[in-house]
Chains A and B, each alone.
Chain A
Amino acid sequence: MKVTTAALHLCVLLAACSRPTAQQQQNAATAGTTTAADATARTVAAAEAFLATLDDGGRTKISFDFNNQQKSKWSNFPVGVYPRNGVRWGDLNATQRDAALRVLSTALSKRGLQKVQQIMEGDEVLKAAEALHGSGPMGSASAGTPMGGTPAGGTMNATRAGGRPMSGAPMGGRRAGAGPPTDMAGPKFGRDEYYLAFLGAPSLTQPWMIQFGGHHLAINVTMVGRTSVLTPSLPAAQPAIYKLDGQTVRPLGSENDKSFALINALDATQQTKAILAYQVSDLVLGPGEDGKTIQPEGIKASDLTAAQQRMLLDLAHEWVGILNDEAAAAKMAELEAGLPETWFAWSGPTTNGSSAYFRIQGPTLLIEYAPQRARGSTGLDLDHIHTIYRDPTNDYGARLVHR
């Protein structure tokens, strides 16, 4: 039954991607190709169509002011430990999920959506593992809804769809040590535990934002007119490799392989510059670290050959290319312009199959890839990876909004 539902979603998604609307056809005929403005128009139309599938309660849950603090409330932690706001994936009916998928498929590229779905499926695998092995890592059992659980009755249950107060609020000025709020139930895993929120009303001209995330995933797409911005976003994975329908899935496999290819393409002198002499155990500028820029380290791209520079850009594209193709192309052009001032740093072994941290940092870019240490071991775990993608000048579209 779940297979059927998933297959249906996939078919609807593919159909949505492959069949342009009359407006799109008109735009393509006019311009000869799709433009960033087309991407915005498609996404706005999809977002409005999704909103139309919700009842008043659902629309209240999903909608925030553009400048609401919700903007920065995302995390790599699972729901239940770090609650999300918006509408919960598991509370959407089939029609609503299809409409929500359409929003993601228009805002993101085909590969970007695939990556998002693979991260969510990985969490489903994790959920099954937690159920199999009992108590979770944080002292409580998984409490997710059943796999693929779409509520009966066909409508979203607005009372369950997020909107809970955030417990991760600032901590100062209160007496610490109080008992847990009654709405906290420990970590929750699985594809149902992802939330979609809109900050600002979908608009062709005014700034608005799509926020989608849950455990190991935060996608923040800010749209300002024809420009789309994906920073800050956090694509992560655990497990980083799993089998689904007989196929091996590696949500961040290309990131891993391209990075090892790059570090091994450097000569000994270049590696001496690139490889840091210390361990990096986690993201330096992960969730909650908005607005900061660290001093760059490693090797400057100006010290790379043209071929190595192309490899570096191709690696960066794994994050940039999550966004729709039009916006990603514009961002890649920006990165290319800033390439001479872009740095590549590496920490760890250089043999693919081992775990290593790396960072790409430029005038408008920060990417970190950080395998996590396995419990009880001293090494890093190839199967649990955090990454972050930021633009120190344009997180949440700040450069565009304040223009």
Chain B
Amino acid sequence: MKRLAAGLLCVCALPATAAAHVVDEYLQVAQIALESDGVRVELRLIPGAQLADRIFALIDLDDDGLLSPAEQQAYARRVLQDVTLDVDGRRANLALADLAFPVRREMNEGVGVIRLKLAAQAALGMAGDHRVEFRNDHLPELGAYLANMLVPASDKIEVLRQQRDPRQHGLRVDLHTRTAASRWFWGAGLGLFGLCLSLVVGRVRLSARTRNRQVIDPGCHGFDIR
């Protein structure tokens, strides 16, 4: 009883609806994968429970309480209009690769996840420096944003720097791509440099030894032994 009383005393200090998961924001999570032939973006859009009706109404255009495939496609296109991807300063054509929508009940409870898979072609496999810039401006008055770069699957792509705005609407990534050819080039170059270095060192040592013999060996009588 004492235990319960203590618990309830504490409860009085809790705000109303203390169990609140965030219910009044539209969480929008972007995960970006860099590949040698392009960029893949997975968007997870999770309306808080208080926003479920509002977001559902945006999707359910005919107001029949169901999200038809056509309505899902239409909403995905709307999101796509609010999302941009630039690669090396040029706008990339992000296309919808896959989509999945939750049922109404899941959205009402704040656990419904709209998943959109987007893809754009980009020559990130080309050796050199690249810049990828992603931005999501979908429903900014409601949104809370996360934008993250996945570790590239290819070890040729090295992420150098990431930058975000304070609310994570945008993510800019600077990266460098090494190709097998460039690695061979650098490997061969290093080998050649090593060979030259050893030749120079050998020559210097030989010269030094020769000078020493000229000084020490009186039998040479000052003649150059070369």
Contact = CB atoms under 8 A, between A and B. Distances in A.
Contacts of A383: 14
Contact of A128 (B7, B49, B150, B165): B7
A293 interface: yes
Given A133-B18, A281-B27, A294 B149 contact: yes
A205 to B, nearest CB: 34
A132 B18 CA distance: 10
A82 to B, nearest CB: 6
Contacts of A129: 11, 14, 18-19
Contacts of A284: 29, 146, 148
B129 to A, nearest CB: 16
Given A128-B7, A187-B109, A295-B159, A176 B148 contact: no
Interface residues of A, number: 68
A128 B104 contact: no
Contacts of A147: 4
B226 interface: no
Contacts of B150: 292-295
Contact of A176 (B22, B49, B98, B103): B103
A29 interface: no
Contacts of A135: 17
A137 B149 contact: no
B17 A375 contact: yes
A288 B89 CA distance: 33
A307 interface: no
A248 B48 CA distance: 31
Nearest to B173: A295
A376 interface: yes
A58 B17 CA distance: 34
Contacts of A278: 164-168
A358 to B, nearest CB: 15
Interface in B65-102: 65-69, 72, 98-102
B19 A132 contact: no
B181 interface: no
Interface string A131-147: 01101111100100001
Contacts of B49: 137-139
A178 B10 contact: no
B108 A138 contact: yes
A294 B34 CA distance: 12
A173 B98 CA distance: 10
The dominant DSSP class at the A interface is loop
Nearest to B31: A292
Contacts of A243: 6-7, 9-10
Interface in A3-55: 3, 6
B153 to A, nearest CB: 10
Contacts of A142: 19
A129 B27 CA distance: 26
B18 A239 contact: yes
Q: Find the residue from B100, B109, B173 having the highest chain A CB count within 10 A.
A: B109
Interface stretch (A164-172, A227-235, A309-317): A164-172
Most buried by A among B8, B14, B150, B159: B14
A180 B103 CA distance: 8
A245 B164 CA distance: 46
Contacts of A288: 113
Contacts, number: 190
Nearest to A127: B19
A271 B89 CA distance: 32
B192 to A, nearest CB: 32
B180 interface: no
B1 interface: yes
A66 interface: no
B225 interface: no
Given A178-B104, A295-B148, A295-B151, A137 B17 contact: yes
Nearest to B159: A295
A136 B98 contact: no
B60 interface: yes
B134 to A, nearest CB: 13
Contacts of B24: 375-376
A235 B9 CA distance: 25
Interface in B144-184: 144-146, 148-151, 159, 162-168, 173
B23 A177 contact: no
A293 B151 contact: yes
Nearest to A181: B105
A3 B18 contact: no
B126 interface: no
Contacts of B113: 171, 288
14 contacts: A6-B3, A125-B10, A128-B7, A132-B8, A137-B19, A139-B49, A142-B19, A172-B99, A176-B104, A177-B66, A189-B19, A243-B9, A280-B168, A281-B145
For the complex of A and B, list the 7 residue pairs with the smallest distance between their C-beta atoms, beginning with the closest: A180-B105, A177-B66, A176-B67, A172-B100, A171-B100, A137-B20, A176-B101
Interface of B: 1-4, 6-12, 14-25, 27, 29, 31, 49, 56, 60, 65-69, 72, 98-106, 108-111, 113, 115, 144-146, 148-151, 159, 162-168, 173
